[in-house]
Amino acid sequence: MKKTRKTIQKELIFETVRQMKNHPTAEQLCQEIQKRHPTISKATVYRNLRQLSKIGKIKHIEMPDSADRFDHFTDNHYHIKCNICERVFDVDMPYFDKIAEMIKDNKGFKIETHDLVFKGVCRDCKKDKK
């Protein structure tokens, strides 16, 4: 089967998320992709990121007070964000499937998932401060 240009672009964008491994923002992904493929527009990157998240190939992480991130690791997991350099890391702890049961009044919601973002200062930034 011959691949369409759209498929090739989507694969390229997916590969870039996979390779960057560091929870890039859409903006960082655009910059990385445009280094090698200057003809791919920002709109194309954003559109494909949305589509890839929707089909579950990548994870869209909503960040409370900064740009959203994208993750190649799609299992449920938590994140920690550095308040200084704004880098985002995975947190090594089990996912609390049962956390929803602790909600006393869920207002009739059927709860499906939850996100948790810890905030702090990473090892590198802690070093710089001293």
Q: Which residues bind Zn ion (CB under 5 A)?
A: 71, 73, 82, 84-85, 90, 122, 125
Rounded least distance, CB 22 to Zn ion, Å: 9
Nearer residue to Zn ion within complex by CB, 24 or 33: 24
The dihedral over CA atoms of 83, 87, 88, 89, expressed in degrees to the nearest 10, equals -110
**DSSP code for 58:** S
Nearer residue to Zn ion within complex by CB, 110 or 130: 130
Q: How far apart are CA 8 and CA 4, in angstroms?
A: 6
Rounded least distance, CB 85 to Zn ion, Å: 3
Rounded least distance, CB 70 to Zn ion, Å: 9
Nearer residue to Zn ion within complex by CB, 11 or 128: 128
CA neighbor of 25 nearest in space, from 111, 88, 75: 88
Q: Are 119 and 84 in contact (CB under 8 A)?
A: no
Nearer residue to Zn ion within complex by CB, 40 or 125: 125
Q: Are 88 and 80 in contact (CB under 8 A)?
A: yes
Rounded least distance, CB 2 to Zn ion, Å: 34
